[in-house]
Amino acid sequence: MNHFCPNCGNEIPEGTNFCTRCGANVGGSQNGTVIINNNYNGSSNIRVPERNIAMCIIFSILTCGIYGIYWFICITDEVNAVSNEGGTSGGASFLLTLITCGLYGIYWAYRNGQKLANAGRMYNKPISDSAILYLILQFVGLGLINYCLMQNDLNRFSK
Residues 96-109 have a mean pLDDT of 97
In a domain, residue 29? The reply is no
Q: Count up the domains in the chain and report the number.
A: 1
Structural domain containing residue 131: 51-158
Q: Give pLDDT, residue 86.
A: 79
Q: Give pLDDT, residue 11.
A: 72
In a domain, residue 41? The reply is no
Residue 68 has pLDDT above 80, yes or no: yes
In a domain, residue 123? The reply is yes
Q: Give pLDDT, residue 150.
A: 97
- 26-30, 52-56, 84-88 — most confident range: 52-56
The predicted-structure confidence for 44-60, as pLDDT tens digits, reads as follows 456 789 999 999 999 99
Of residues 47 and 140, more confidently modeled? 140
In a domain, residue 132? The reply is yes
In a domain, residue 72? The reply is yes
Residue 39 has pLDDT above 50, yes or no: no
Mean of per-residue pLDDT scores for the chain: 84
In a domain, residue 101? The reply is yes
Q: Give pLDDT, residue 33.
A: 47
Residue 31 binned pLDDT confidence (cut-offs 50, 70, 90): very low
Contact 151, 53 (CB under 8 A): yes
